[in-house]
């Protein structure tokens, strides 16, 4: 967690530096890039640092979008049955579950320990999902760790090592619903449509693909 926080702070400082440089050399008559354009349209340096940060994150989602675009038939909603054709998305979700797992109580249970009847045992999911003996470079967010070398298949055995939904008798009974919800949530177009309430423009890839293709 500490290294994640450090990395985040370093990244924000890096973005802050870029934004500061842009402010110092900003010329309304000569808009050089996206950051200049944001300065032109927004007020508040803090807001711009946040937006530029988000844009970096969005860049890493481009591969996911490409996978969706090539594997889901246009003009219809993505379906659960498209899942086998979207290995990168499945790997991304597994990495999301692994990387973001939260620490449970620091109580370790291993073979050889005596656990009296009726003891309440908490699994330290964070430790399992970030164990350096199990995962290469556990603190980096890398969906490729779950993909075969050619990127076409998810390595099921690796996927099963992620323990987000608990283990044993009391493991989450909503696991299948939750996995499908996360999958569907990530495949729909979240472009908002403004009105009295804000809703998704269209739950299809259609609108987004048309816009992208025209660019």
Residues in binding site for heme: 172
Nearer Cβ to ligand HEM, position 44 or 174?
A: 174
Q: How far is the CB of 171 from ligand HEM (least distance, A)?
A: 5
The residues binding ligand HEM (CB under 6 A) are 164-166, 170-174, 177-178
Q: Which residue is nearest to ligand HEM (CB)?
A: 174
List of long-range contacts for 120-125, beta carbons under 8 Å, 24+ apart: 123/163, 123/166, 123/167, 125/101, 125/163, 125/164, 125/166
CB nearer ligand HEM, residue 65 or residue 165: 165
Minimum distance, C-beta of residue 91 to ligand HEM, in the bound complex (Å): 16
Q: DSSP letter string over 56-103?
A: HHHHTTHHHHHHHHHHS-TTS---GGGGGG-HHHHHHHHHHHHHHPPP
Nearer to ligand HEM among residue 33 and residue 160 (C-beta)? 160
Enumerate the known binding-site residues: 172
User: Among residues 90, 95, 99, 96, which one has the least CA distance to residue 183?
Assistant: 90
Q: How far is the CB of 182 from ligand HEM (least distance, A)?
A: 6
């Amino acid at each position: 967690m500490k290294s994640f926080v450090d990395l985040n702070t370093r990244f924000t400082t890096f973005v802050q530096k870029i934004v500061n440089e842009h402010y110092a050399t900003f010329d309304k008559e000569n808009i050089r890039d996206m950051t200049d354009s944001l300065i032109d349209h927004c007020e508040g340096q803090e807001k711009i640092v946040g937006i530029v940060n988000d844009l970096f994150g969005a860049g890493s989602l481009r591969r996911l979008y490409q996978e969706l675009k090539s594997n889901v038939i246009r003009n219809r909603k993505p379906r659960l049955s498209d899942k086998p054709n979207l290995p990168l998305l499945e790997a991304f979700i597994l990495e999301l579950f692994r990387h973001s797992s939260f620490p449970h109580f620091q109580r370790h249970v291993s073979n050889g320990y005596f656990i009296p009847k009726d003891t309440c045992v908490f699994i330290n999911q964070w430790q399992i999902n970030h164990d350096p003996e199990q995962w290469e470079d556990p603190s980096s967010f890398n969906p490729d760790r779950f993909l075969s070398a050619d990127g076409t298949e998810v390595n099921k055995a690796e996927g099963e090592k992620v323990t987000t939904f608990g283990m044993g008798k009391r493991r989450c009974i909503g696991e299948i619903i939750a996995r499908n919800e996360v999958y569907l949530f990530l495949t729909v177009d979240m472009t908002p449509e403004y009105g009295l309430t804000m809703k998704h423009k269209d739950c299809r890839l259609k609108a987004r693909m048309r816009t992208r293709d025209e660019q």
